[in-house]
Amino acid sequence: MVSNSDAEEKIIIIQKRVSRLLRDTDALFLQGNQTKSSVLEQEAEDRQQVKGAGDSAYAALERAVQRLLELPSSRDEVSEQDPNIVGIFHHAIKQFEDLSKTSQTNTYQLGTAAANYDSFISVISMHDGKVDSQFSSWNKEQKAAHDSMLVCQKTKSECDRKHRELTQQLSDARGERSSFGGWVSSGFSNTLDDKISTIEKRIDENKKKYDEAEENEKWNKRLRTEAMYGRKACRDLKVRIKALNKEFATELLRVNESQLVESSLWRGLLELSSMVEDPKFLSSRDNSLRLVLKVLKADDDKFGSGDRYAHVEERIKLAIIGRWGEDGLKKLLIPGERRGPRGFLANE
């Protein structure tokens, strides 16, 4: 049985806890927005850095090819024909190293983003558990208040029945005192007065008990209503929290997939960077051009249709074709071919 004072205290507690849950949930959403915004901003910045590094690397490679196409000999040392070209190649090598490092940093950043999302999902889960716990608590409060109301209603019903009985007894006693016989015997009259007084006291006590039960029922009804409101608030919060959890689970999956892609890109760029650093790059014009085409082919093999520098590859091949024709390009693409294409100055 929940007393009036207990019910009043519990109502205040429920109201405070509902307000706190709402504030905490709003704060959770704010934290989620900040976390997601931070990750998306970092991703955009990293993509821009990778793009910038990639543009620089492939532009440097294209400039090196342009200088190679100007060399007269297909087999003489590149540095002997143009000492300045060494610096151009070293610049291209440095740009590919930077591109690989930028991609590596991006991979690590995505790992950090995934860890942040995973941590936030744990926070969501903890908050969801608090809401579940509070829902269960208020479910018990609602049941206890409802049971107390039933007890109060039963007490009121008993008081109503007793009030009718006492009222009838009082009416009978007063009627008896008013009768002729009651006036004759003063002793008998005093006894009736005592009886009437006793009945009146019992009526007052019964009324007091009824009023107390009614007041208690009122407070328990308010408590039940407040507990029902708290449970509804929990259900509404559960819907919001579920949506938030789904959103970040999707984000985590996306970031994990992005990290796998970026990790693959990084490994591919490491291979390209190693190829660009091959000593044969400066051994002769033809070897240099073959290695450039090998780098471009490796780029195609690694990134396929997703290659963002296909236009650079196309311009390099067109430049070679423009210098020595389709046959010249084909001969450079043949592994192990050492003679320059027909029309090369060194073969004339």
* Domain-located, residue 93: yes
Average pLDDT for 136-159: 95
Distance CA 297, CA 275 (A): 11
SS (H, E, C) 194-240: HHHHHHHHHHHHHHHHHHHHHHHHHHHHHHHHHHHHHHHHHHHHHHH
* Domain-located, residue 198: no
Q: What is the pTM of this model?
A: 0.74
Residue 161 vs residues 152, 166, 199, 216: alpha-carbon distances, Å: 14, 9, 15, 19
User: Quick check: 137 pLDDT over 60?
Assistant: yes
Residue 86 vs residues 80, 292, 307, 330: alpha-carbon distances, Å: 10, 15, 28, 26
DSSP state of 340: P
* Domain-located, residue 19: yes
DSSP state of 277: T
Q: What is the structure's pLDDT at 19?
A: 96
User: Quick check: 342 pLDDT over 70?
Assistant: no
Q: Is 19 helix (H, G, I), strand (E, B) or coil?
A: helix
Residues 6+ apart with CB under 8 A from 188: 181, 182
DSSP string, 97-122: HHHHHHHHHHHHHHHHHHHHHHHHHH
User: Quick check: 305 pLDDT over 50?
Assistant: no
Of 65-74, 83-92, 176-185, least confident by mean pLDDT is: 176-185
Q: CB atoms < 10 A from the CB of 201, how many?
A: 11
- Token pair in block for residue 55: 């543009």
User: Quick check: 31 pLDDT over 80?
Assistant: yes
Q: Where in the sequence is the domain holding 341, given as residue range(s)?
A: 4-152+230-347
CA 217 to chain centre: 45
* Domain-located, residue 10: yes
Q: What is the structure's pLDDT at 309?
A: 73
Average pLDDT for 247-255: 94
Average pLDDT for 141-158: 95
* Domain-located, residue 46: yes
* Domain-located, residue 20: yes
> pLDDT digits over 177-236, tens only?
777 555 555 555 677 788 889 999 999 999 999 999 999 999 999 999 999 999 999 999
Average pLDDT for 105-125: 93
* Domain-located, residue 63: yes
Residues 6+ apart with CB under 8 A from 202: 166
Nearest to 227 by CA among 149, 145, 148, 147: 145
Average pLDDT for 118-125: 96
* Domain-located, residue 194: no
Compute, in degrees rounded to 10, the torsion defined by CA atoms 27, 28, 33, 34.
Answer: 70
User: Quick check: 172 pLDDT over 50?
Assistant: yes
Q: How many domains is the chain partitioned into structurally? A: 1
Q: What is the structure's pLDDT at 328?
A: 86
